[in-house]
Each structure stands twice: as structure tokens, then as C-alpha cells.
Structure 1
Amino acid sequence: MSQQASIKEIANCHPGDIPDFVFSSSEPLVLRDFAADWPVVKEAQKSSKHAADYLRGLYRGNPVFACYGPPENNGRVFYNEQMNGFNFQGSKVDLNLVLDKLFEQAAQQNPPTLYVSSTEINSVLPQFNRLNNAGLDSLNPLTSIWLGNQTRIAAHYDFPHNLACCIAGRRRFTLFPPEQVANLYVGPMELSPGGQDISLVDIDNPNFDTYPKFKQALDASLTTELAPGDALFIPSMWWHHVAGLEDFNALITHWWRDTPAYLGRPEAALELAILSLRSLPDAQRKAWQSLFEHYVFEPDLQKDAHIPADAKGMLTLPLDLPNAKKIRAGLLNKLKV
């Protein structure tokens, strides 16, 4: 297997004191000791049990969705063999029960997989963000907690930017640039373990006979390990595989986008393009590709300079709320069958 490059690291970066270049970076950045002063991290420095007890003290009883996988999964959260379901079972349970089970299983050589993913922090730990704040409130991020044992989460991408803060245990991140999608062997779009398209390659034991182009993805990949207090900035659309390395691992993510929510999610545009364009004859697809390059992927105010400003409509750049509403209403009407 190829040697993966390390992610660039930034020192002396703390909540409320993040340089602008971090947020504008097109590549991942590690912020060492970013959250070292958070109370939860200070407890984790004592022990994982102290960190878990700190979370218990903030918990207010709302159930969390927990995933359970048998020992033979070796921590991998993935599909079943038929790819018509998953290799784990999930249910809503009390967070205390999950924490109890994690520590009960800690002594086992190959324990079952226990995993709580992407749980909005205010719904279960309403005081956590006030006491352990990343200083991103102006960005209005969606803040979530992830915890479990030695889990392995397949490479996937997220549309929002992400500042991921390790608060207990250690996690290894392996990241791939967006342009590596063709080398990652992505699974079905309609069904995935976490609701987001994932790579089918087992990064810890890649089958290069089945997935030969994955070697190219590995050559382009970056990797890092986070300890309690470390943070990782993951730019929008970067694929990332995440592995928990200890018996108890906890992570806080902060997701935000650069554009207003009224512009919608780009995934909707992709699905509509698959519906409308993917099955067209080759010549027609190429023609539409030229139109997309002109109007979408290479927008330029000068291209539309010949159109009066008041007449630009959906070509207004950046797109404003009134025109966004018109486009949305028009699409809803056109999609009626």
C-alpha cells in the first residue's frame, strides 16, 4: 500500500481565534490542541471514564440512535452481503445504556460494534455547546456528537464544511480530494449506512483486484490522527474515512455552508440531472455539458453583460432570494407528472 501524506498542521489556534485562511482553505488542516481547554477534554485527559461521566452529567434523557454490529464486523459500519441492508441493527436507547455497554465491552479482544452517529448536540446535551464552544456561532453551525468504540466509517463526503473536534479517545482520518470520486468505487445512491454515498473499498484491507483504481486514490490521500483537544477542518466535498482507535471515542462536528440555505442542497441538482440527462444520447449529453459549463461551473458576470440587470432573472449572480423562490416554484411545477 502506498504511503499516505500527512495533513498540514496549524498550531496556536483556539476557539474564537481561528485565522481566516483556515475557513477559506481548499485543503484539510489539523488544528492541534484547538479544544484543549474545553472541560470535556480536560476530563478525557484524566481518563475515558471521566469524559463519559462528564457527558452523563449533561445528558437530559432524550434517546439517541445507536448502532450495534456483531464482532465479526471488526468495527466496520457497512452494508450486508446482499447490499439490500446493513451489517448492523439500530434502535433508540438511553445514552447512559450506550456508555455502560461501551465500558463493559472494553476488556473484550474483539467486541461488538457500538456506534452513535451524527446526533444534534442540543437535543441530548443542551448545555454542552455553551461550556465547550468552538467560537463558530456567527456561522450558525449544526453541531453534533459521534461516539463509539473501534468503529470504521467508510469514506464519504459532506456538502458543508466541517470542523471536527476530538473530545475523547483517538481517531484516524483518511481524506481524499473530491476529484478522486472515480477511484473510490462509490456504492448505491439510494441506500447507504449513514445516508450519504460511501466508498465500497475496505481501506484497511483493500482488494486491488476488485478495486484497482483505488491505488490512485491512496496516492492522493492525506491522513492524520486526532487526540483529545485536536480538531480537523474538512473542506466541503472532501471524502473522509474515519476510524476510532480506542475502546471509547467521542467526536464533535460543526457543519456550516458558505451560501444561504435558500439556494438548496446541490444533491438535489445532481439527482435531477441524473433523471433528465444521464440517459440522453452521447451527443446531447455533451451539448448539455457545454451549457452547464457556461451557466453553472464557469459563471462570469461579463458573460451576461449584454443582458440588462433588471432582466437577468435566474442569471443574477449571486442569486438572490426572490429569484431563488421563482426557480424553486418553477421546478416544482415542472416536476409534476
Structure 2
Amino acid sequence: MSPTTADLPRTAELHGADAPDFAARFRAEVLPANRPVILRGLVKHWPAVQAAQTSDQAVCEYLLPFYQGARIPLSLGDPAAGRHLFYREGMAGLTFERRPTELADGLRLLLAQAHDATAPAIYMDSMPLPACLPQLAGAIPLPLMNPQVMPRIWIGNAVRVQTHFDLMQNLACVVAGRRRFTLFPPEQLPNLYIGPIDFTPAGPPVSMVDLEAPDYDRYPRFREALAHAQVAELDAGDALYLPYAWWHQVESLSGFNILVNYWWTDTPPPTKPFDALLHAVLAFRHMPPEQQAVWRGLLDYFAFEHHGPALAHLAPEHRGLMGLSSPQQAEAIKGILGEAFKRG
């Protein structure tokens, strides 16, 4: 018998968010472990969370004075899709359409239909606070985060976002409603049956397996992915730490939901790694296996430095483009790549 999401182990939890040493524990215990952790009650003190405990209307009234008029993205789902933000049958488009709107109009639409089980998906997603609610960040302090990390806000009804990953670390804080995250470690990539990387519902590629009804005949290795999965369920005031590139399906479990999240990386790359992946596909995919093995070794040595710093036997000034990372080095490499692509 195949496992279901109800059978999955629960994500580990860290309590005591009120303790003065909590931020230090987060940095000393959670980040180095590189595993998801629920931080119970982390943001229960936020005024927005407290307003949401009163009513959906109350938290909307709390947010609107922060709004400065920027247009925001609103996704409206196909009622036939069951609020699943995904591909249509046969991948003939997506199950939702996006259009810009005013925050007040989006909230009004959501409040009118939040508890209507027949309403379509209504989702205002990934809105940077400096753009749409510029003063709100100051009202939701989070000592765990570097102040330079930009928060984003997500508002909607009970929608299901397909399993995907982010090339960032993520701290997701529930302001209103309840959320369920189904989590898979990065090494389960081959068992998640990923869709195209150039036609996606929202940016990153997604798993093609429907968690609600997995088709094991079509996706047999997904059983192995489920064997390594876990589930995190969060109430308002809770937060989830997600390490870099962990796969996650996100379900909003209430008729009205708000989440604020923080994406960051400790070592931002000078270029987009996904661009390098596309270049690698173009360069290596059609090589004979014996040549791919050679390039796998070269990448391990020069790019990933699995054997220690590349060219460490040379003085730093003699390592050329493999010397210490710097803006000048990055620009030199980009210049070489630009010329290479011009030549075709």
C-alpha cells in the first residue's frame, strides 16, 4: 500500500520564541542543521497577526493604511481546477490567469468570497513590501532576519501551490489562516518528475505529480520521494524555516490566508545559477558518456572544488580566472561568455 501525505512524519519544531536567546539558538542550531524546522509562535506578537485573530476584516483594515497605491499581481483560478494552481490537462496553459489590481480591490474580492466553497482561487502572491506596503516592514520586526532581507506578502483563499523549490533559504511566517507544507529534500529531484523549466506556473519548475492523487503507474519513483517527505502544519503566528532548494507544496487551509516570507542567501552568486544550468544543458547533454565523465570531473574540480581550492598549487596572482572571487573576475568571465555566444 502506498503512503499518503497523512502518513508522513511531522517536521521538527523549535519552541520558546519569546526567550531572549531564541535568535542565537536559531543561528546555532537550525541553520547549520540544514533541515526544515517549525518555529512555533515566532511572530504571534505582530499586530497583523493579532488583528487576524479578531477577524478577516480586521486584518484587512490593519493592512490598508500601509498601502501606497502600487498595482499588485492578482491570480484568479479556473473554478474547475479545484483551486490548484497548476497546468491544465495536457499542459494546455495554466489553471489561472494573472492581472494587475489595487490591493483594496483584491481584498474586497477575497473577503466577499473567502468562505464560499464554490469560489475560484484568489491569490495575490509574492508582493515585495517596499513596493506595495512600504511601512509595514517596520511594524513586523523580526530579529532573526538581517534587516537587508526584503519581506514579501502573500494573500489568498484556500489554494494549493504545486510542489516547487526556491534557490534561497526561506522563512515563511503565517499571519492569518493555516498552512500545510509538504516537504521533500533536494536529493529527491529524480523522483519528483519535474516539469519544463521554461514554462512554469510561477517561475521555478514544479513537480508534475498531483499529491492529492498520485499516478504511480505514470510516476512510479514518486513512492520513493514520499518515503523521504515530511509535513509541516502552521497556525497564525508560526513560521517555517526552509533550507536552500527544499521542494515544497503549499496549501492554504483556511478561506482567508496571509503569509509573509523572507528569502535570502548568505553568498549571493554574481550571476544566476539557472542560466549556468541552461548553458550546461546546451554544452553537455549530447556528449558521449565518456566525454560527459570528463566534464563532470572538470566541474567537480573547477566549479564545485570538491578536491579543495582549484589551482591551489599556484600563487594567487597566477590563477587567472580561477583566482579569488571579485567583481572584476565576474565581469571578465561574463565578457568571455558574451563573446562566445556572439560567435554562436
Q: State TM-score, norm by structure 1.
A: 0.94
What is the one-letter code of the residue matched to 2:258? A
What is the one-letter code of the residue matched to 1:316? G
The answer to whether structure 1 residue 32 and structure 2 residue 40 are counterparts is yes
Alignment-derived partner of residue 306 in structure 1: 313
SS of structure 2 residue aligned to 1:270: helix
C-alpha displacement of 1:72 = 1.6
Alignment-derived partner of residue 23 in structure 2: 18
Q: Give me the whole-angstrom Cα distance separating, in 1, the residues matched to 2:224 and 2:8.
A: 11
Maintained 8 Å contact 2:162/2:249: yes
Percent sequence identity over aligned pairs: 35
The answer to whether structure 1 residue 102 and structure 2 residue 110 are counterparts is yes
Q: Give me the whole-angstrom Cα distance separating, in 1, the residues matched to 2:319 and 2:17.
A: 43
C-alpha displacement of 1:291 = 1.1
The answer to whether structure 1 residue 297 and structure 2 residue 304 are counterparts is yes
C-alpha displacement of 1:134 = 1.8
Which of 10, 21, 27 is the matching residue for 1:6?
10
For residues 159-198 of structure 1, what are the structure 2 equivalents within 5 Å? Answer: 159-198=167-206
Of 32-41 and 96-105, deviating more is 96-105
Check 1:289–1:129 CA distance in 2 against 1; reply closer, same or farther (3 A cut): same
Q: Give me the whole-angstrom Cα distance separating, in 1, the residues matched to 2:147 and 2:264.
A: 6
Which of 207, 220, 223 is the matching residue for 2:215?
207
C-alpha displacement of 1:50 = 1.6
Maintained 8 Å contact 1:48/1:169: no
Of 218-227 and 16-25, deviating more is 16-25
Maintained 8 Å contact 2:56/2:111: no
C-alpha displacement of 1:27 = 0.8
What is the one-letter code of the residue matched to 1:289? R
C-alpha displacement of 1:298 = 3.6
Q: Give me the whole-angstrom Cα distance separating, in 1, the residues matched to 2:17 and 2:286.
A: 49
Q: Give me the whole-angstrom Cα distance separating, in 1, the residues matched to 2:21 and 2:167.
A: 24
What is the one-letter code of the residue matched to 2:299? F
Of 186-195 and 16-25, deviating more is 16-25
Deviations 1:267-288 (A, max 9, x none): 1111110111111122111111
What is the one-letter code of the residue matched to 2:45? D
Is there any run of 5+ residues in structure 2 with no aligned partner, and where? Answer: none
Check 1:236–1:84 CA distance in 2 against 1; reply closer, same or farther (3 A cut): same
Maintained 8 Å contact 1:16/1:134: no
Check 1:179–1:168 CA distance in 2 against 1; reply closer, same or farther (3 A cut): same
C-alpha displacement of 1:237 = 0.7
Alignment-derived partner of residue 216 in structure 1: 224
Deviations 1:292-334 (A, max 9, x none): 12222344446533211211133235x2222222112211221
Maintained 8 Å contact 2:302/2:310: no
Which of 321, 324, 327 is the matching residue for 1:321?
327
Q: Give me the whole-angstrom Cα distance separating, in 2, the residues matched to 1:120 and 1:38.
A: 18
Deviations 1:27-76 (A, max 9, x none): 11111000011110111122222222212232222121111112221110
Of 88-97 and 5-14, deviating more is 5-14
C-alpha displacement of 1:139 = 6.0
RMSD over equivalenced CA pairs, Å:
1.8
Tell me the matched-pair count.
335
What is the one-letter code of the residue matched to 2:38? V
Maintained 8 Å contact 1:139/1:256: no
Deviations 1:153-198 (A, max 9, x none): 0111111111111100001001110000111111011110101100
Maintained 8 Å contact 2:177/2:253: yes
Maintained 8 Å contact 2:113/2:119: yes
Alignment-derived partner of residue 284 in structure 2: 277
Maintained 8 Å contact 2:75/2:97: yes
What is the one-letter code of the residue matched to 1:309? P
Q: Give me the whole-angstrom Cα distance separating, in 2, the residues matched to 1:16 and 1:277.
A: 49
Q: State TM-score, norm by structure 2.
A: 0.92
SS of structure 2 residue aligned to 1:197: coil
